[in-house]
Structure 1
Amino acid sequence: MASTMAWGVLSPAGIAVNKVIPGMLKSPGVRLAAIASRDAGRARAAADRFGVAKAYGSYEELLADPEIGAVYNPLPNHLHVPWSVAALRAGKHVLCEKPIALTAAEAADLVTVRDETGRQVLEAFMVRQHPQWLRVRDLVRDGAIGDVRLVQTTLSYFNVDPANVRNKADIGGGALYDIGCYAVLLSRFVFGAEPRRAVSLVDRDPDMGTDRLTSGLVDFGEGRRLAFSTATQLVRAQRMEIFGTTGRIEVPVALNAPQDGTTTILVDIGGAIDGSGIRSETLPACDQYMLQAETAMRVFRGEEAAEFPIEDAVANMRVVDALYRSGANGSWQDV
């Protein structure tokens, strides 16, 4: 059995304490050694919640701790690259929340620093480890629904709290950064290809300045495309559909699969209008955040090469960049 790896967490952010840390702690290979916050009291409260001995009142203190081999970075979007770079230069491997950066150019700095330090940095898109998406990809690769031409989705939730980081335009808030990046990522995952161009229509909140509704088309060439809408001020939804020439796959809970429950995908062969061709497949219970941590640890230990190295995060950000440019000027943008 592989030895444990000591982790430090930069901030008791909601995603960290509600999802990622509980998932990580299910892995016997994870030893959570420290939690940091700029507010020492918040760090101590989170550490006590999870039975962690060390609580630091600054990120610098955590990065200086020689015991820690890996860092999870759930800070607001504009702090992803600066503190991931600091962690790499402190000799730590890094698992950083999505989106990895605010621009592809900024994300590319992580490639340079990874190569300089010899430490790995990965983007925390937990969906790529979930069995439901691995099954979807297998079905597509096996030709179960013919030639895949369209990925279609609406990803949305309702949040109008101006104090929430997702609603602060100057630090990377907005629908496309927060959840639209998943639509881009999963279409690239399904097609196994990189898009050529993108176009979008953006509606911004008049007070907060964030994109509250962004709709887009992403062209992968050869008749393949992603069609999506992503929103921060609509009813919650996250159903995704993959359309082929002979069938369709539907993923009812595309992103927030239950951490300890089964998931179901729907496979429609033939497209009978009465739904008679639809079959359901139930995937076993799992925690995608635990799987994400275990995948990261194997890469950090050098036991396997990263299937999605940080260059993949840069590629995803190129699409996001193109969509934001298109929203500003109203035309197709090359990726």
Structure 2
Amino acid sequence: MSATPVAGRPVRLGVLGCADIAVRRVLPALATVPGVTLAAVASRSGARAAQVTDRFGGDPLEGYDALLARPDVDAVYVPLPAALHAPWVEKALAAGKHVLAEKPLTTCVADTARLVGAARAAGLVLRENVMFVHHPQHHHARRLLREGAIGEVRTVVAAFAIPPRPAHDIRYRPELGGGALFDVGSYPLHAARFLLGDGLEVVGATLRTDGDRGVDVSGTALLAGPGGVTAQVYFGMEHHYTSRYEVVGSAGRLTVDRAFTPPADHRPVLVVERSDGTERLELEPFDQCAGTLDAFVRAVAAGAGTAGEAIVRQAELIADVHRSGTRGVRPAPRPARDAVEGEDR
């Protein structure tokens, strides 16, 4: 079991797997975050781990268990396919490691709740890597709403859609937790919760399934909350790239484009439209990947524990959309035997 991080010493991070998101986004951002050092990278292939550590530092390890056995690793980042999160997050927590896992934390509400409970009982930090909520543009947008910039909020319309992926992409593999809902669908659903709170319920949903691949490739959902507020979300993997939300109120509309995956050098613009004119609020660029890593590292250093309620509520909302959209016709993803590394997430 790893030692508890000590004040004044960097958090020592290990990475389970060499997935594309880790190599392309997370590890480059990690180098800019204070208070953390890369201790080790594990892969099923020792050669692959060495390729990554040659670029970013740390020790290369063959096999994920080898990393979890290291006493000089305080926390682990898990970028494995979604269906592999539950067993490896569970093993990491049992080894006394804090965990940052790619979204979704698991593909099953019961597994999510169980892991949250395990982290809480052990006093460990468990976080789901939802990067966009760490970008200041969304906190600025929420502050405008609370200040009444568009009057009383009536509805949120949020969308995240991407063009088709390569045929071998793990998003098309049901046994690895693929599908649009678990991947791109989680963003607009999370945005609705972020902007409107956790009182949202699923009124109805649709999911379009690719019969050959056995995964959902697009979907929509209608949510309703207290006081008649609503949210409409849509998502998919067969679309023109779309990443935005708008909030319509009694006296105006707030729009945020490039909402979920902006480049680190992107200058966000929040557009507020009212009857007396349109205001464009330009903000400074921000690297949301570095922001989420910094928040995790600070939580580990402070012994902040897990933010479990929010993780479980997100899992429940996704499950409700799936249930409404499929009416039970799609079987649950089968457990995966092996990880798939190096593919885009």
Q: Give the TM-score normalised by the residue count of structure 2.
A: 0.89
1:49 aligns with 2:55: yes
Instruction: Tell me, in whole angstroms, the C-alpha distance in 1 between the residues paired with 2:137 and 2:17.
Output: 30
Task: Give the stretch that moved more between structures: 318-327 or 257-266.
Answer: 257-266
Amino acid at match of 2:299: V
**1:1-335 correspondence runs (5 A):** 2-50=8-56, 52-270=57-275, 277-302=277-302, 309-329=307-327
Deviation at 1:167, TM superposition (A): 0.9
Q: Size of the alignment, in residue pairs?
A: 322
Distance 1:225 1:33, change over 3 A: same
> Is contact 1:6–1:32 with CA below 8 Å preserved after alignment?
yes
Deviation at 1:62, TM superposition (A): 0.7
Amino acid at match of 1:19: R
> Is contact 2:160–2:242 with CA below 8 Å preserved after alignment?
yes
Distance 1:305 1:43, change over 3 A: closer
Amino acid at match of 2:48: R
* Partner deviation per Cα, 1:167-214 (whole Å, 9 max, x = no partner): 112221111110111111111110123212331111111211111111
Deviation at 1:310, TM superposition (A): 2.1
Structure 2 residue matching 1:211: 3-state secondary structure: strand
Instruction: Tell me, in whole angstroms, the C-alpha distance in 2 between the residues paired with 1:132 and 1:278.
Output: 18
* Moved segments of 4+, more than 4 Å: 303-306
Cα RMSD of the aligned pairs, angstroms, is 1.7
Amino acid at match of 1:281: L
Amino acid at match of 1:179: V
Q: Which runs of 5+ in 2 are unaligned?
A: 1-6, 329-345
Structure 2 residue matching 1:28: 3-state secondary structure: coil
Amino acid at match of 2:314: N
Q: Give the TM-score normalised by the residue count of structure 1.
A: 0.91
> Is contact 2:76–2:100 with CA below 8 Å preserved after alignment?
yes
Structure 1 residue matching 2:141: 3-state secondary structure: helix
Structure possessing the higher relative contact order (Cα contacts under 8 Å, 6 or more residues apart)? 2
Distance 1:305 1:140, change over 3 A: farther
Q: Which runs of 5+ in 1 are unaligned?
A: 331-335
Instruction: Tell me, in whole angstroms, the C-alpha distance in 2 between the residues paired with 1:243 and 1:193.
Output: 19
What percentage of aligned pairs have identical amino acids? 34
* Partner deviation per Cα, 1:271-329 (whole Å, 9 max, x = no partner): x7xxxx222112212211111111112211226576xx022111011111011111122
> Is contact 2:11–2:36 with CA below 8 Å preserved after alignment?
yes
